[in-house]
Structure 1
Amino acid sequence: MTTEAAALTAGRVMAEARMRESGRLTRPGPDVYDPATGETTTSSTLLYTGKARVKPAQTVPEGVQAGQREVSLTRYDIALPFAAVPASRIQPGDTFTVDTSPDARMPGLVLHVTGVNYSATATAWRISAEARS
């Protein structure tokens, strides 16, 4: 193993050790209407479930106009283990839901994927996302 490969392997082990949250990455599907109950539900496809690191990328929420109301967008960085292979290529529009975290305020947080970074020399999968409120 080359020195570069050894350093990369060590970096990936360290990056994964810092992943304290767990969650699931899903792709929203079409709405499904149930004529028996009269209810509409949204289907989704599970792409990944497991450990992650979720941290704010921007500490000050950004206010934007959406229709007639002000919406706050807070940007986050999500890191998944480099060896993780999602069921499908991650893309904007997918969602990441935090299931567990040492921070009691984070479980249930839904983040909307805005971009994905790919690199053979990365220590983790880096995903850009935002929380919308």
Structure 2
Amino acid sequence: MPAKAYHTPQRQAVYEVIWESGDHPTAVEIMDRLRNRGQNFAYGTIYNSLRYLVDAEYILELKLGDNASRYDANVDDHHHITCKKCGKIDEIYADLPKEWLGTVAQETNYTVDEPVNFHHVVLKGVCANCQS
């Protein structure tokens, strides 16, 4: 976590679990991984740490259609794709087509200046492992 953050050992531990993961863990998965490391924090501590880290923009909270939020330490603008069969989540770095932004502007009657914070775009499909 960047040095400018007001962080506690608990926040640092939560951040490290998310940073080291490649699977966008839920709060429960984060807690389980902390326990596996010998770090036992109360649920409230985990949730408060997650809220702080999201609000301070050190992590992203992803709402991908299931009930539980997932967390991502990659705060660069990017998209996600989820497998409808196994639930795997991957990151996408492709730019959105300018035509799509024009369609959004036309449908919503907004003037779209530039794509900002498009990490909320989520696509669904079937991953290569589930296609066989």
TM-score (norm 1): 0.24
Say which structure is richer in strand. Answer: 1
- Larger RCO (CA within 8 A; separation ≥ 6): 1
